[in-house]
Amino acid sequence: MELRATKDEKRLLAQAAAYERLDVTSFIMRNVLPTARDVVDRAERIVLSERDTARVLELLENPPKPTPALVAAARRRVART
């Protein structure tokens, strides 16, 4: 992986890494990885409103009867296996 940075940015990163007694790569990784994890976590999480949460819980506790299309799809699936 390469990082494009100006001379001033490189100097600043080196200085900050030195203060932390780390090499530049370790300094960058230590500070960037938590942010990367947060970004991925937020992007992959589904956040429901209170109303939507109640609806999901209601459907889990009292699922609707399967539609004819769902029954037909399940039969086709069983027939293929």
DSSP 48-77: --HHHHHHHHHHHHSPPPPPHHHHHHHHHH
Mean pLDDT on 72-79: 93
Q: What is the pLDDT of residue 65?
A: 95
pLDDT, one tens digit per residue, over 20-71 is 999 999 999 999 999 999 999 999 999 999 999 999 999 999 999 999 999 9
Domain around 51: 1-81
Q: What is the pLDDT of residue 81?
A: 79
Q: How many domains does the chain have?
A: 1
| Residue 1 confidence (pLDDT) above 90 | no
